[in-house]
Amino acid sequence: MTPLYDLEQPVLGEVARFLDTVRSDGMPPTVIQQGERLLLDTAGCMIAGAGASPSTPMIDTFASWAGPPVADVLGTTIRTSPSDAAFVNAYTADVLDFEETLISHPSAVVLAAGLAVAQDVGASGHDLVTAVSAGYEVGSRLGAAMVPSPAKRRESAAEFWWKSVAAAITSGMLLGVEGEHWADVIGYATSASPAARRGGFEFRPLSHLKANYSGQAQVGVHAAYLAARGFRTYRAMLDGHRTFAELLGSDRWDPEVLIDGLGERWYTERIGFKAYPACLYLHALLESIDVARGEQGVRPEDIRSVTAFVPALLRNEMDVRRPRHIIDAQFSAPFAAAALLVDPRPTASWLSDDRLGDPETLAMTDRIQLEERPSYTELHRRDGRVRAGVRIELVSGAVLTADVDTIRGSAARPLSNTELIEKFVSSTTSWLGPARARAAADSLLRSAGAGHVEDLMEAVRRT
């Protein structure tokens, strides 16, 4: 197989050259460590998400179809084909909206594809982490290169649909794709990428499908296996006049964002890990509650009223008082705030059917009012940042206030490894038990040193 990078397509050529280089030369230790943190965090989200009610029909369906017992569906006893395992794991990784974030949630797709293919080919932990980091890096840059204008995002939300390419690259790295054959991997992933979500949160109840990460992970797996066996596709999706961005309905395509500094500056170093199981737009509000409450031990019965100061997006589209299901709940500002005020531990238990009908949580929801603050609206419109504040009036007459701009878990205020381990343990103890959950976290955080990916999978299986 002779590497060929130009293909009269300079953008694709640069991507292919980068992928072949990192396979042969490796990645910086900081990138590998971030890949291990991704694996730890996302595996915990998959296991917790497998127990969420919207996951049940999907798991039951794929269990009834279970193919060759090659790859694990995390948080279940099912082993099935790489394609099907990637499909289900991508869904469970995202169903609680607790996984990392950069340009939406690449880890749900690249980890789902990577784990499935790695099990099929018997990859090492280092191979897995390298492949995941490569798919994440190129995919995130691709997403940044095609984020639509604010007006267009209301129509297409195209920034959610590029992840089939990230999954395809991760899968292709594990299958040994190189040189010109990256054109077919990326060509298939772009040509077959599913696109099923418009922008906005105003149509309720929200869809269980969310951004269809399942379909994108599966397309990525298909792309790599087919290209590795000689399947040929349309190759000019990153160059020329009719690009992937246009296909997905974006009005913006800047290929320099994709290739400038590729292999020198790493998007993976910008990853944020979530401290709360809710849409990222709600985290500034939730943290402001934590900051205002401090160490004072405020109980739900101590609270008379809560006023949340938020940008227009939260006031107009996330003021949902009675979420119909857990997808609705994770995009509801008053419900997420009430869950935190009633249960100060930010765990997957916030997003359960029992919580949706909990009288104490619903009563607290009714005590919370959202008030738009124009300066926050302008900040969000201009920079995409969400700032929020809170005023909590207690029955005693005392008033607690706080305002949060840069959230905990962001690249500027990253979660430590210890915090990620505790998040994983809280998400997986019901599946693994506390001792095995902690041991699994330790294994995943050192995953690049694992001789075989099956050692990692054994750590997260129920015995």
Instruction: For residue range 277-324, list pLDDT tens digits in order.
Output: 999 999 999 999 999 998 777 999 999 999 999 999 999 999 999 999
Q: Give per-residue pLDDT as tens, 211-238.
A: 999 999 999 999 999 999 989 888 778 9
Last-in-domain residue among 217, 246, 270 = 270
Residue 367 inside a domain? The answer is: yes
Q: Are residues 242 and 297 in the same domain?
A: no
Is the pLDDT at 156 greater than 80? The verdict is no
Lowest mean pLDDT, pick from 109-113, 149-153, 434-438:
149-153
Q: Which pLDDT belongs to residue 2?
A: 46
User: What CATH number has the domain bearing residue 164?
Assistant: 1.10.4100.10
User: Structure pTM?
Assistant: 0.95
Say how many domains are in the chain: 2
Residue 303 inside a domain? The answer is: yes
Compare 161 and 403 and report the one with higher pLDDT.
Answer: 403
Neighbours of 307 (CB within 10 A): 17
Q: Which pLDDT belongs to residue 115?
A: 98
Q: Are residues 71 and 150 in the same domain?
A: yes
Q: Are residues 244 and 98 in the same domain?
A: yes
Last-in-domain residue among 389, 404, 419 = 404
Residue 23 inside a domain? The answer is: yes
Q: Are residues 256 and 289 in the same domain?
A: no
Last-in-domain residue among 381, 404, 427 = 404
Q: Are residues 284 and 264 in the same domain?
A: no
Q: Which pLDDT belongs to residue 199?
A: 65
**Range 131-148 average pLDDT:** 96
Residue 260 inside a domain? The answer is: yes
Residue 426 inside a domain? The answer is: no
Lowest mean pLDDT, pick from 40-44, 60-64, 155-159, 409-413:
155-159
Residue 447 inside a domain? The answer is: no
Q: Are residues 93 and 209 in the same domain?
A: yes
Q: Which pLDDT belongs to residue 7?
A: 54
Q: Are residues 228 and 307 in the same domain?
A: no
Q: Whose CA is closest to 205, among 327, 36, 63? A: 327
Residue 427 inside a domain? The answer is: no
User: What CATH number has the domain bearing residue 312?
Assistant: 3.30.1330.120
Q: Are residues 72 and 170 in the same domain?
A: yes
Q: Which pLDDT belongs to residue 198?
A: 65
- What is the chain's mean pLDDT, rounded? 93
Structural domain that includes position 333: 280-404
The residue written with tokens 């998040």 in the block is: 423
- Three-state helix/strand/coil letters over the chain: CCCCCCCCCHHHHHHHHHHHHHHHHCCCHHHHHHHHHHHHHHHHHHHHHCCCCCHHHHHHHHHHCCCCCCEECCCCCCEECHHHHHHHHHHHHHCCCCCCEECECHHHHHHHHHHHHHHHHCCCHHHHHHHHHHHHHHHHHHHHHCCCCHHHHHHHCHHHCCHHHHHHHHHHHHHCCCHHHHHHHHHHHHHCCCCCCCCCCCCCCCCCCCCCHHHHHHHHHHHHHHHHCCCCCCCCCCCCCCCHHHHCCCCCCCHHHHHCCCCCCCHHHHCECCCCCCCHHHHHHHHHHHHHHCCCCCCHHHEEEEEEEECHHHHHHCCCCCCCCHHHHHCCHHHHHHHHHHCCCCCHHHCCHHHHCCHHHHHHHCCEEEEECHHHHHHHHHHCCCCEEEEEEECCCCEEEEEECCCCCCCCCCCCHHHHHHHHHHHHHHHHCHHHHHHHHHHHHCHHHCCCHHHHHHHCCCC
Is the pLDDT at 338 greater than 50? The verdict is yes
**Range 240-252 average pLDDT:** 86
Q: Are residues 37 and 113 in the same domain?
A: yes
Q: Are residues 387 and 321 in the same domain?
A: yes
Q: Are residues 307 and 252 in the same domain?
A: no
Residue 435 inside a domain? The answer is: no
| Type of residue at 350 | W
Q: Are residues 88 and 116 in the same domain?
A: yes
Alpha carbon distances (Å) from 394 to 275, 300, 403: 26, 10, 18
Q: Give per-residue pLDDT as tens, 439-451.
A: 999 999 999 999 9
